[in-house]
Each structure stands twice: as structure tokens, then as C-alpha cells.
Structure 1
Amino acid sequence: MLQRRTHFAHVLTVMVFAAAPQLNAAEWTLTPSTQVTFGIKSVGLSIVEGKFNKVQSELKFDPEIPQKGTTELVLDVDSLSLSNPSLKGLILSSEFFDAEEFKQVRFTSKQIKPIAYARYQITGDLTIRGVTKPVSFDTMMNPNINNPRLMDIQSNTTINRSDFGMRKALGGVGEQVNIQLKGQWKVN
């Protein structure tokens, strides 16, 4: 009987360790339903929202050692959709994204710092229009309660668009831009 229990314990241990790399796998990508959006005040009252519809993503992350994690996002500027479609020409013009010359927005992390349970400060370099500046995202990453291969994410930061070479206060468009990533990472 003892031998059977020992064998069962050994089999159970092997199964747990075999499953662990899947649950704490180092490589993740954003699910297609994840949204990378921004909001900016227009004429001081309304908020124009934009959404990047083509996003390349990579996260190397283990919740047990988050400080060793890295992430990179590449956003296709031409894939941008806006809450006010009539502004798309202006937003893609040389006054703002200059989409003809600069096809992508890129974020590359330098540090993932744990703040509290499932809360992190992710700092790194944001490149827009060929201008790279340091930014910090306030981020929540929680294991998904329904699927252990998913991790829910909500991440926010605010930037000044003129820091990235976008014309300041053009046509009543505000200076501060709120950037948000909301959705899920899926383990590869």
C-alpha cells in the first residue's frame, strides 16, 4: 500500500511540474479582442478616441519573478480607427502621426516593477514619429479565473503629444493623450 501511495505521489509530482511551464510560461501574446486605445480632448469638451486595430505583441513574464519580464508592442498607424472618422486625415497627417513616413508606434519595456498583488509599473521607451521618450504604465495583470492560459490586463499612461513632435494645440485638440491597453495576454 505504501509503495502504491509513493508511486501515486511521484506521478502527481511529475504531472504538476509538467503543467507548471504551461501555467507560468514565459512567452505571451495579446488576444485579438484586446484593445489598444487613446483618448484626447477636442475643443476642450469632447473626447476623440482612437483604436489601433493591428497590434504585434510579445510579453516574456513569469508572475513568480515579474522583475525579469519584458514586453514589446508594435502598433500599425494605418490601422487606426477613430470615434470621429472625419478626423482621420488630420490625425494621420504630418501634424500628428505623420503616417506616410512613420508607419508604426512602438513600446519596448525596460522594467516591470511589482507594486502590489497583480499591480505593476511598466516603464520603457515609447516611439512615435521617430521620437523616443520614456513612459511608465500603471498596469494590472491578473490570472484569468476561467482560463489559466490567459492573464487579464489593464494598463494606462498619459503623455503630452508635443513631446513626440506633434503640433501643439492644433485646431482645439488637447495636449494630453490618455493611452490604454485592455484585454488579455495568452500564453504561447
Structure 2
Amino acid sequence: MRTTMKSTTFQSVHRATLAGLAALALSGAGLAHADVDLSKSTVVATTKQMNVPVDGKFRKFSAQLNFDPARPTAGSANVSIDTGSYDLGADDYNKQAQGKEWFDSASWPAATFVSSAIAPAGGNQYRITGKLTIKGKSQTVVVPVVIASQGATQSFDGSLPIKRSQFDVGTGEWKDTSVVADEVVIKFHLVASKK
């Protein structure tokens, strides 16, 4: 009984953890001088628990964004993520995601991404370098982004593999990467209105 409950609880908590990481990478990638439409934007982060894929979604973030396709290297992004802003459909799971073994939202209420460089990568592809900080741990990441324009909006799509252990996400009994994979693959779709 304990093992079954533990596994179910883990899946929900892990979804929240991955969602936070995904959203952070997505927000950093979505460099547009525009308003981000959260209702049309999606973030999915996938890892494996006992070789079973586990997805997570993120709900809330704020960002100061600036991107001009005519001058991409002049762009910038400063993103703040509310680590306690997860809705998994059950209060118990949400509280566990905010706990010390995962995001420790009481101590670290925000995760951040601050860009340092944007480089064209051919066509409508870009590589955005910046500092990703979660639970006080920082890593430099490079986010590959494909930008497409349609009417009054721009979309930003890509994926980014990161390691949760580098940010102390999943500690204690969840630190064992043979149970929960260390690698998290973040896939994102961000829609922003042009200005």
C-alpha cells in the first residue's frame, strides 16, 4: 500500500517539478518584444520514472522580453517563475511539489532565467544563452528556438535537455536517478502578440 501511494504521489510531484523546469526554459526562450499569451502557450517536460515517461505542465510566470528579428543579437530576456504556482488537480500534490525535496518554494519562491546572448542559427532558428537559477543553483544553458510569424503573433518552439540534479530538484529519497531519470527534456510552444 505504501509503495503504491508513494509512486502515485511521486508522479504528481515529479510532474510539477518538470513543469517548473520546462516553463523556466521556455520563458527564457520566448524572447519577443510582445505580450505572451499564456492561454495559447504550452510547456511539456518529460523524464522517465522506472522507464515510464512522466510529463509536467507549468501555469504561471512573468517576463521582461525584447526581441527584434532584424537585430536578434540586441535582444534580451529577464524571467521570473513562481515555483509554487502549480495546479496538479489535488492540493496534496501541489503542496508536495512546493516541499523541500522538490522546489522548496518557501525558501526559493522564484526561479529565474536571465539571457546573456542571442545568436542566429540559420533561417528562423536561434540559440539563446543565459543563466538558469532554480533553488539557488545556477547553470548556463543554451536554448534552441524556432521562431515563426503568423498574422499578429509570433510563436517560439524548441526543446532543451537539462539535468535536475544540477539544481537539487528531487533530493532525499528522490535523488536516486535509477528511479527517476536525471535528464529532463523540455518541449515548449510560446505564443506572443507582436507590437
TM-score range, shorter chain: 0.7 to 0.9
Query: Which is greater in Rg?
Result: 1
- 8 Å CA contact 1:28, 1:58 repeated in 2: no
Q: Deviations over 1:5-58 (max 9, x none)?
A: xxxxxxxxxxxxxxxxxxxxx72231122123322211222x222222112123
Corresponding position: 1:183 with 2:168:
no
What are the equivalent positions in structure 2 for 1:69-108 lying under 5 Å apart?
Answer: 69-82=75-88, 88-108=94-114
Residues 1:174 and 1:89: Cα distance change in structure 2 (over 3 Å) = farther
Relative to its length, the structure with more strand (as a share) is: 1
- 8 Å CA contact 1:122, 1:137 repeated in 2: yes
**What letter corresponds to residue 179 of structure 1 in structure 2?**
I
Which residue in the other structure is 1:114 paired with? 120
Structure 2 residue corresponding to 1:27, chosen from 28, 33, 36: 33
Q: Tell me the TM-score normalized by structure 2.
A: 0.72
Equivalent residue of 1:80, what SS?
Answer: coil
Cα offset, 1:140, TM superposition: 0.4
Structure 1 residue corresponding to 2:161, chosen from 154, 158, 164: 158
Deviates more, 1:73-82 or 1:113-122: 73-82
Question: Equivalents in 2 of 1:125, 1:103: separation in Å?
Answer: 17
Cα offset, 1:88, TM superposition: 4.2
**What letter corresponds to residue 119 of structure 2 in structure 1?**
K
Q: Deviations over 1:130-170 (max 9, x none)?
A: 111101111001111xx1x3111113211111111232326
Corresponding position: 1:41 with 2:48:
yes
Which sections of structure 2, spanning at least 5 residues, go unmatched?
Answer: 1-31
Query: % of aligned pairs identical?
Result: 26
Question: Equivalents in 2 of 1:137, 1:119: separation in Å?
Answer: 11
Q: Deviations over 1:90-121 (max 9, x none)?
A: 43321121122111221111111100111001
Task: Give the RMSD, CA atoms, in angstroms.
Answer: 2.4
Q: Tell me the TM-score normalized by structure 1.
A: 0.74
